[in-house]
Amino acid sequence: MHIPDNYLSPASCAVLAVAAAPVIVLSVKKVKVQLKENKELAPMLGIAASLSFLLMMFNVPVPGGTTAHAVGGTLLAILIGPYAASLALTVALLLQAFLFGDGGILALGANIFNMAIVMPFVGYAIYSLFRKHHQETLGVIVGSYLSINAAAFLAGVELGLQPLIASEAGQPLYNPYGLSITVPAMLGAHLLVAGWVEAFFTVVIYRFVKQVAPAELYTPSTVNTTSFVKKIRWVLLALIVLSPLGLLANGTAFGEWSAEELGSLLHGKVPTGIKNGFSFEALFSDYTIPGTKIAIGYILSAVTAVLIFYIISKIIRSMNGEKTSHA
């Protein structure tokens, strides 16, 4: 679901970035208020970003020879609230793009809008509706399943509109596939496979938290603490160790092909905007570490990301250290 650079026109990237910006700004303001009430939210932000990052490393095969992955948007919203979840997902997406080359730099606005805004807010709204009727677990399943499919649908629409809005002499400049292909491809992969993977991870971790620290689940009227942070670190460790399983899925996710891969699909007819577009070489592209085996590089990439999120959370906590915690 990570849209690469040059698959969306610059205008599309700008529009989606402008659409995402107010929500992120509002999320920052909301989280600042929460941090004033409870500085212990800071490590929770680091845990949340780590959870999402690690879940996105587990690629699974989908029909058509491509792959997909979970995101954890609804899970994070259930744990720390939709606004904090939106920020944690945004940080995870920024790190993926700049350090690991997963998702485009220019397309960050689109990826943030789809995965860091639509997913946590849609998923949490559905979960809250079911919770009001005392059907929390069902709300977790339905919310997580529908939220990732909502994000996939939007990604399919964004990609599929490109031949209509950005072409030259009748030839697409960016993503070459229209809505009749992109929407079914994105929705098919997520309705059939990725949505259930998302629901599985969400329910498993939700039940774990519900068992070890039920008071940690977010509600608008309570202030969360972090009594289960040490316990959930074991979940992170397990995900890190198991992360190379994500390498077992062969194929590139739909719409995330390199120019060379797309050229092989189109018999060399790569759209000009993709062939000659913006290029950014990430330090650890595709989660590989130079001089190491692929599996080891994958684990080291996971460890690196978690450490970065930990450092960021420590900085945020220290910046709010003078505030009084009510936890």
Number of domains in the chain: 1
d(CA 192, CA 149): 10
| Any domain includes 3 | no
Kindly report which listed range (227-231, 245-249, 255-259) carries the lowest average pLDDT score. Answer: 227-231
pTM for the whole thing? 0.94
CATH number, domain containing residue 88: 1.10.1760.20
**Mean pLDDT over residues 18-22, rounded?**
98
Q: For the ranges 62-71, 72-81, 149-158, 184-193, which has the lowest average pLDDT?
A: 62-71
Query: What is d(CA 77, CA 165) in angstroms, rounded to the nearest whole number?
Result: 34
Q: From 127, 148, 145, 149, select the one nearest 137 (Cα to Cα).
A: 127
Query: What pLDDT does 148 receive?
Result: 98
**What pLDDT sits at residue 54?**
96
- Residue-wise over 250-280: b if at least 16 C-beta within 10 A, else e? eeebbbbbeeeebbeeeeeebbebbeebeee
Helices (H), 169-275: 179-189, 195-212, 229-242, 259-265, 272-275
Whether pLDDT at 225 is above 60: no
User: Would you state the pLDDT for residue 221?
Assistant: 60
Would you state the pLDDT for residue 231?
A: 76
Q: Which two tokens stand for residue 107?
A: 């397309």
Least confident range from 43-47, 119-123, 215-219: namely 215-219
Instruction: Kindly indicate the confidence band of residue 55, based on its pLDDT and cuts at 50, 70 and 90.
Output: very high
Average pLDDT over residues 193-205: 96
Say if 140 falls within a structural domain. yes
At residue 221, what is the residue type? S
Among residues of the chain, what percentage have pLDDT more than 90? Answer: 78
| Neighbouring C-beta atoms of residue 117, cutoff 10 Å | 24
Mean pLDDT of 80-106: 96
- The yes-or-no verdict on residue 324 having pLDDT over 60 is no
- Statement: residue 228 has pLDDT above 80: no
266: in domain: yes
Q: What integer is the mean pLDDT of 276-285?
A: 93
Report phi then psi at 248, rounded to 5: -70, -25
- Angle at CA of residue 83, ends 147 and 48, nearest 5°: 75
Could you tell me which residues come within 8 angstroms of residue 152 by beta carbon, excluding any fewer than 6 positions away? 1, 186, 187, 189, 190, 194
Mean pLDDT of 33-37: 87
Q: Is residue 120 part of a domain?
A: yes
Question: Residue range 103-130: average pLDDT?
Answer: 97
Using a 10 angstrom Cβ sphere, with 0-12 exposed, 13-18 middle and 19 or more buried, the burial of residue 1 is buried
The answer as to whether 2 is a domain residue is no
Q: Domain of 99?
A: 10-319
Residue among 228, 218, 213, 223 nearest 326 (CA): 223
Is there a domain that residue 281 lies in?
Answer: yes
Whether 327 maps to a domain, the answer reads no
Cβ partners under 8 Å of residue 29, min gap 6: none
On whether residue 275 sits in a domain, the answer given is yes
- pLDDT of 269 over the 50 cut: yes
pLDDT > 90? residue 16: yes
Q: What is the mean pLDDT of the chain?
A: 92
